[in-house]
């Protein structure tokens, strides 16, 4: 039953993206996917996704990798999609499906109350919308300032200028916080077979145990070519950077 649900999500996940020049290429990749040419579709999505963060592209790339039975790559794409759209249930469902194929224990990916509230807010209001509102508030601020210089110090102009300044500062802070959340890279996926987790940042340190490909870990610290990661609730160690794909 889970397999049927997964295949349905793979088809339903192919929805248009409202970008001018990318729409045609996206439609071509969708058609290639529907025709069963999954490698070609993945290549098409990858070309569109170069330098672009969009959850639909990442989700569809994960779908292609599932069809190609490249489950580690699929998990990487789904985690990227989840970072951009943390409230999408279909991404979480597909991650569970991939984890089952990789033989990993089911993880709870439910966020806390405040994080969940923030995720719902960001799902409703995009970074582009915040940037547009900030631009309008700055225009509004400049308009009040010019009117104040032109018509002199009037109470309603002073209040309007102060309110516009407060709104601009709030939106500027919100935009910076948004961008910080998008730029944050604190999750990684093991991509090497039998990657060794060590007690310190170097090969001279004791091997704690090996990590299986496809396991996602939390990045805690970086030191030269080594990352300190948390591989479980109480297990942390160091692993070579080349053994991981940072999300």
Task: Please give the Cα distance from 141 to 129 (Å, whole number).
Answer: 18
Cβ 109 vs Cβ 95: under 8 Å: yes
Predicted confidence (pLDDT) per residue in 48-92, tens digit:
988 777 889 999 999 999 999 999 999 999 999 998 888 788 999
114 assigned to some structural domain: no
Domains: count for the chain: 3
The reply to whether 174 and 239 lie within a common domain is: no
Q: Does the reported pTM lie above 0.75?
A: no
Establish if 133 belongs to a structural domain. yes
Same domain, 138 and 64: no
The pLDDT of residue 109? 53
- Predicted confidence at residue 88, as pLDDT, reads 85
User: Does 201 share its domain with 175?
Assistant: no
In a domain, 38, yes or no: yes
Does 226 or 129 have the greater pLDDT score?
A: 226
Instruction: Note whether residue 113 is domain-resident.
Output: no
Q: Identify the CATH number of the domain in which residue 217 sits.
A: 2.30.30.40
In angstroms, the CA 77 to CA 71 distance is 10
**Is pLDDT of 115 > 70?**
no
* Six token digits for residue 223: 């030191």
Q: Would you state the pLDDT for residue 166?
A: 95
Q: CA nearest 67: which of 29, 98, 25?
A: 98
Q: Are residues 9 and 65 in the same domain?
A: yes
Domain match, 80 and 133 both: no
The answer to whether residues 28 and 73 belong to one domain is: yes
> Could you tell me if 16 and 31 lie in one domain?
yes
- CA 109 to each of CA 114, 164, 170, 242: distance values in angstroms, whole numbers, following the listed order: 14, 39, 30, 26
pLDDT(10) > 60: no
Nearest C-alpha neighbor of 66 from the set 83, 29, 31, 41: 41
Domain limit, last residue, from 54, 87, 102: 102
Asked if the structure places residue 36 within a domain, the reply is yes
- Asked if the model's pLDDT at residue 27 lies above 50, the reply is yes
Amino acid 16: pLDDT: 46
Element (H, E) at 229: strand 226-230
Last residue of a domain, one of 68, 102, 136: 102
Q: Which residue has the tokens 């730029």?
A: 183
Q: Are residues 177 and 193 in the same domain?
A: no
Is 82 domain-assigned? yes
- Please check whether residues 141 and 225 belong to one and the same domain: no
The domain of 214 spans 187-246
Q: Domain ends where: 162, 183, 204?
A: 183
Taking only the tens place, the pLDDT of each residue in 202-215 is 999 999 999 999 99
Within a domain: 120: no
Mean pLDDT of 165-192: 86
């Amino acid at each position: 039953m889970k397999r049927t649900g997964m295949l349905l999500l793979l088809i339903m996940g192919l929805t248009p993206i409202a970008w001018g020049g990318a729409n045609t290429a996206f439609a071509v990749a969708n058609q290639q996917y529907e025709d069963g040419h999954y490698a070609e579709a993945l290549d098409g999505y990858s070309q569109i996704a170069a330098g672009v963060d969009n959850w639909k592209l990442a989700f569809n790339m994960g779908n292609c990798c599932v069809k190609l039975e490249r489950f580690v790559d699929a998990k990487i794409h789904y985690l990227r999609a989840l970072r951009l759209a943390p409230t999408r249930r279909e991404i979480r469902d597909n991650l569970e499906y991939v984890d089952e194929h990789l033989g990993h224990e089911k993880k709870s990916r439910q966020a806390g109350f405040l994080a969940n509230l923030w995720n719902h807010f960001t799902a409703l209001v995009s970074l582009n919308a915040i940037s547009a509102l900030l631009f309008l508030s700055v225009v509004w601020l400049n308009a009040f300032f010019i009117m104040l210089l032109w018509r002199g110090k009037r109470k309603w102009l002073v209040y309007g200028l102060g309110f516009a300044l407060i709104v601009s500062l709030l939106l500027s802070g919100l935009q910076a916080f948004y961008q910080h959340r998008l730029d944050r890279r604190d999750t990684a996926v093991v991509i090497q077979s039998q990657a060794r987790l060590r007690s310190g940042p170097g090969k001279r340190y004791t091997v704690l145990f090996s990590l299986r490909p496809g396991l996602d870990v939390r990045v805690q610290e970086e030191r030269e070519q080594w990352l300190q990661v948390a591989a479980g609730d109480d297990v942390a160690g160091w692993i070579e950077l080349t053994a991981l794909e940072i999300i």
